[in-house]
Structure 1
Amino acid sequence: MREIRFNEETLRDGQQSLWANRMPTGPMLPIAPAMDRAGFGSINIMSGSAFEACILYLNENPWERLRLLAQLMPKTDLQILIRGRSAFGWRRFPNDAIELLIKCLQKSGIQGLAIFDGLNDLNNIKWHFQVAQEIGLQVHPALVFALSPAHSDAYYAAKARECAELGVHSVSLADASGLLTPERVRTLIPAIRSAIGNLDLSFVSHCGTGLGTACYREAMKLGVDILSTASLPLSQGNSIPSTWEILSYARENGLKARLDDFLIRKIDDYFYWVAYQEKKPVGQAVSFNPAQYIKYAAHQIPGGMMSHLVSQLKNLGLERLVPEVLDEAGRVRQEIGYPVMVTPFSQIVGVQAVFNVIQKERYRTVPSDLCLYARGYYGEPAAPIDPNVKDRILQGEDPTPIDPTENYLEPVV
């Protein structure tokens, strides 16, 4: 009987997607021992945005959260999510800062690093792999899914093969925007599997379009080794599927899972209580709407960026322009090489779309971040930038290409 393993994401993805990382450390601690005994293959407990929320909104020390959770969960591999060269910040850090961060994470009890780059440019994160491997941490790179002609099955297979050749412990396909469909899963998962052989293949997809659970069901049939899930109250909506639901489907498909049913239910009940105590919403299932999916797939602006964009236009008395801005965002994204719409690229595309619409002249005003992007500062996009658009972006600016790795050796620590 084939075994499927679970990566628990309540404390990271679940509360990030539904509660904007506003769960304090206190409510996490009483349930941590039960989570440790429940049989999860790993538990992802934090990310850079959670670090930021601890400091800016919760008045907490994020390092103390890591240490406390590590003490209470000694049996399970604890992971943390790192956002490429930005790590836990908004600027890009050189090698010595990345090395110091990774070593501090290990000392705080972290055993595995989930690492992604917004452009899926592995040159930006190879150093992370090397440092982690040298000190004995597990390396779990995530390839971020996006829809475009450039993001083909062959593209992801090539990226996965490159990860495998770098000696990582698993490769993850991460659909942060809920763009995957069951039909695409049926071709994409086999392509990645053929590229990585027997290396562990992990899968996560969000439920904002109503397709997350269906994609999980297909993925487990196709031989995925690890699925990321969350407790029931912190699943669905813009989050990921629940552990209980996916566990049930796995058993229906004849798969073995080493999860304790009683403890999974206990964890679900506990976080319902936390939601009540903290006055937070619980996740609700979203029904798939084909028309809305088509509109969303055209621009791929994530929920957090979308709410900010609408709010800003409303404050300017320009809320009527939202549909036009979204259409323009899809066009800008296409012209600059189809970046995955995660931080900072969703902001770069969104801001440029607003300027183009409001000023009624495309690329009349270009933010400095887009100029840097066009010069290669952030890495290599999936497709070339339209040369005419690139000329407009860099008009009056230094057009010299930037090697994103050239400053990685300059010490800052």
Structure 2
Amino acid sequence: MKKREIKFSLVFRDMWQSAGKYVPTVDQLTRVAPAIIEMGCFARVETNGGGFEQVNLLFGENPNKAVREWTKPFHEAGIQTHMLDRALNGLRMSPVPDDVRQLFYQVKQAQGTDIARTFCGLNDVRNIAPSIKYAKEAGMISQAALSITHSPIHTVEYYTKMALELIDLGADEICIKDMAGIGRPYSLGQIVKNIKDKHPNIPIQYHSHAGPGFSVASILEVCNAGCDYIDVGMEPLSWGTGHADLLTVQAMLKDAGYIVPEINMEAYMKVRSMVQEFMDDWLGLYISPKNRLMNSLLIGPGLPGGMMGSLMADLDKNLESINKGKQKNNQPLMTQDQLLIKLFDEVAYVWPRVGYPPLVTPFSQYVKNLAMMNVMQMEKGKARWSMIADDIWDMILGKAGRLPGELAPEIIEKAKAEGREFFTGDPQKNYPDALDKYRKLMNEKQWETGEDDEELFEYAMHPAQYEAFRSGKAKVEFLADVAKRKAEQAKESQPAPAPAAAPTAMALPTTPQIMTVDVNGQAYKVTVAFGDSNNASAASTPTAPATPAAAPAAAAPGAGEEVLSPLEGKFFLTKDTSETPLKVGDTVKEGDILCYVEAMKTYNAVRSECSGTVTAILLNPGDAVSEDDLIMTIQ
């Protein structure tokens, strides 16, 4: 007798997020959609969510247009679309006001998204409960996720209890979100069996990354236990930090007697070819070759596939920062592999001491960032825990939800020494409604709130990124970054010239060059630097005719104490509209927050080391900044 049917979902969004930091453009997405449909084997496709919309904004595309156009062909073909959302954090790394969360589901349903896959990075059911309610009220299917990790706390019983609570709250489906692929196959099968024993009609979807090597065994176990849908990837973005390949999963389940869809291989090859074309175009610039590899070392730190994609892309910057300090002190330089092992070891040290948060966005980034900051500070001779971002403190203090485990005494003592208070109430209460504020700001700027209030939602969800998108600044900086990366890639691929040879026609410039890019009909001149030039950051100025750009608060350093950036990232005077930006002439006290450096997806507060008056602010919000760059002066 044949076994039951297993359906497949192509996690197209996560294929890209797990590989690197970017996703295809809307034109590329709409080109590949018909071929995905033609494959004939997918009941569902993951089209948006997570970092998808921030990335659209980053390279100057309207994410609302992207979602509407990208989901449309799947709807017409009868294929369900699903998105990933982060419960209290919506689509971003930090908590979202309640009214913005409610609008979120209304907008996404109107844009064509069928299923909201909601997870809380702390597995705090209180954070998921409103999302279940809002998704169902908006007409979406609510799929509540268990964020799988492996620790003494995260047992079969723990996850079974959580799943049953979510179903009692109204969840239509359950997702087993094995974001790091470290769930042990047998245990995952037991979780699925326990859920199906109580609720045989609740659909269960399994999502796993391939990195540590458990995923194919886990897929077979969960299917044997009653799982209904399996998330899959496909070449050239399967395996490694991505997902098990469709062809492998289909062949395995067919052999086990399950009813699985056939695959149109001609269409498969079309999609495979297009994805490679997109990578060759420019997306490959953001994908580390190491992300294609599976690595059992990932069993230890348990870091998720999606985060490993961005981690490998960012690691070079962290390594450069560490090695700058080593060069100054005449110490041997560190290699990337050495840094990676130090980071993994530090994650293993940090994780239990901050209460075993499941290693999923944003808390995987918080644990990794905290570990990375500890490594960087200790390599520079400073103390462990000497730099903890405010978002990470919010996690530690309970403002983002209840931690599964206990905090280490050293963390509790540090919090008390800094006068920080722990929070045990409903996390949503910390983040008051904000739509009226953003609606007012849009009216003042004469910006339309958009169809179904989608532009209002986008602004409220991603304020800084949305402003950079609307101004054209985001696209200018992105195009300059692509040009710089392509030039560096070309330089690396050139054979070394003979010792006395004259420069060839292909030789790249050694000084910054000017290129012109077009943003919504506005021409911008962009300075692109190559190699190790001191002018490595790209600057842009509009050509005539042009809308005048905002001038820096001060054009040159003022008198007084210098404030240096503690790390590389992007400079912001505030992290949201609830804060008042500092300006020249303001007085500050020692310990006051002056500004933020956004790096590794968190806002790192820069505090004043003296009291006095701000005499200069050298950067505009959103400007790139390197470690030890002068950002302001105080006298």
TM-score in terms of structure 1 length: 0.88
Looking at structure 1, the residues matched to 223 and 399 of structure 2 have their Cα atoms a distance apart, in angstroms, of 38
Task: State the one-letter code of the partner of 1:244.
Answer: L
Q: RCO greater where, 1 or 2, for CA within 8 Å and sep 6 or more?
A: 1
1:153-200 alpha-carbon deviations (Å, 9 max, x no partner): 111111111111122121011111121233433434334434544311
Aligned to 2:406: 384
1:168 and 2:171 matched? yes
Match of 2:318 in 1: 312
User: Is the 1:305–1:347 Cα contact (8 Å) retained in structure 2?
Assistant: no
One-letter amino acid matched to 1:405: Q
User: Aligned pair in 2 of structure 1 residues 387, 193: CA closer, same or farther (>3 Å)?
Assistant: farther
- Look up the equivalent residue of 2:7 and give its one-letter code: R
The answer as to whether partners of 1:160 and 1:195 remain within 8 angstroms in 2 is no
Q: CA deviation at 1:294?
A: 5.0
SS, match of residue 405 in structure 1: helix
Q: Kindly state the Cα deviation for residue 325 of structure 1 after the two structures are TM-superposed.
A: 4.1
Hey, what does 2:238 align to over in structure 1? 235
Mark the runs of 5 or more structure 2 residues left unpaired by the alignment.
Answer: 327-333, 437-635
Q: Distance in 1 between matches of 2:46 and 2:263?
A: 20
Could you tell me which of 341, 344, 355 is aligned with 2:359? 341
Matched to 2:402, the amino acid is: E
Alignment CA distance shift 1:186-1:78 (3 Å): closer
Question: What amino acid is the match of 1:275?
Answer: Q
Bigger shift: 229-238 or 130-139?
229-238
Measured after TM superposition, the shift of residue 288 of structure 1 is 6.0
Does 2:308 align with 1:303?
Answer: yes
Is contact 1:144-1:173 (8 Å) kept? yes
1:328/1:166 CA distance change after superposition, 3 Å: same
Q: What is the Cα deviation at residue 242 of structure 1?
A: 2.0
Alignment of 1:346-385 (within 5 A): 346-357=364-375, 358=378, 359=381, 361-385=383-407
Shift, 1:218, TM fit: 2.2
The 3 A distance-change label for structure 1 pair 48 and 356 is closer
Give 1:150 deviation, angstroms.
0.8
Instruction: Give the superposition deviation at 1:286.
Output: 4.6
- Equivalents in 1 of 2:247, 2:311: separation in Å? 30
Distance in 2, Cα, partners of 1:309 & 1:196: 44
State how far apart, in whole Å, the 1-side matches of 2:372 and 2:18 are.
25
Question: 1:98-113 to 2 correspondence within 5 Å?
Answer: 98-113=101-116
Change (3 A) 1:186 1:171: closer
Question: Residue by residue, what CA displacement relative to the aligned partner does 1:341-389 show, whole Å, maximum 9, x if unpaired?
Answer: 2333233323433454515534344432333222211101111223443
Instruction: Give the superposed CA RMSD.
Output: 2.7
Structure 2 match to 1:327: 345
**Other-structure match for 1:63:** 64
More helix by share: 1
Cα separation, 2, equivalents of 1:6 and 1:343: 24
Q: Comparing 215-224 with 184-193, which one deviates more in the overlay? A: 184-193
Alignment pair present for 1:153 and 2:156: yes
Task: Give 1:339 shift.
Answer: 1.0
Deviation at 1:152, TM superposition (A): 0.7
> Which amino acid is the alignment partner of residue 308 of structure 2?
G
Alignment partners' CA distance in 1, 2:299 and 2:18: 22
Alignment: residue pair count: 406
Please say if residues 210 and 294 of structure 2, whose CA atoms lie closer than 8 Å, have aligned partners that are also in contact. Answer: no
Q: Deviations over 1:268-308 (max 9, x none)?
A: 4323233135414799975564xx255444x7794146433
Question: 2:36·2:267 contact (CA, 8 Å) conserved in 1?
Answer: no
Aligned to 2:124: 121
Quote how far apart the aligned CAs of 1:400 are: 4.3
Q: Give the drift of 1:203.
A: 0.5
Spell out the pairing of 1:176-325 with structure 2 (5 A cutoff).
176-194=179-197, 196-257=199-260, 259-262=261-264, 265-276=266-277, 278-279=279-280, 280=284, 286=293, 289=296, 292-297=297-302, 302-304=307-309, 306-307=311-312, 308-309=314-315, 311-317=317-323, 319=334, 322=339, 323-325=341-343
For 2:207 and 2:92, how far apart are their aligned partners in 1?
Answer: 24
Distance 1:223 1:356, change over 3 A: same
Secondary structure at the counterpart of residue 83 of structure 2: strand
SS of 1:78's partner is strand
1:412 match: 435
- Between the aligned partners of 1:192 and 1:271, the Cα distance in structure 2 is 36
Unaligned segments of structure 1, at least 5 residues:
none
Residue identity in the other structure for 1:353: A
Q: CA 1:249/1:347 → structure 2, altered by over 3 Å: closer, same or farther?
A: closer
Q: Which amino acid in 2 is paired with 1:91?
A: S
Shift of 1:47: 1.6
2: CA distance, partners of 1:195 / 1:4: 20
Check the 8 A contact 1:213/1:241 in 2, yes or no: yes
Q: Return the index of the structure with the highest Cα Rg.
A: 2
Residue 420 of structure 2 is aligned to residue 398 of structure 1: yes
Cα distance in structure 2, aligned partners of 1:216 and 1:377: 35
Match of 2:14 in 1: 13
User: What is the one-letter code of the residue matched to 1:245?
Assistant: T
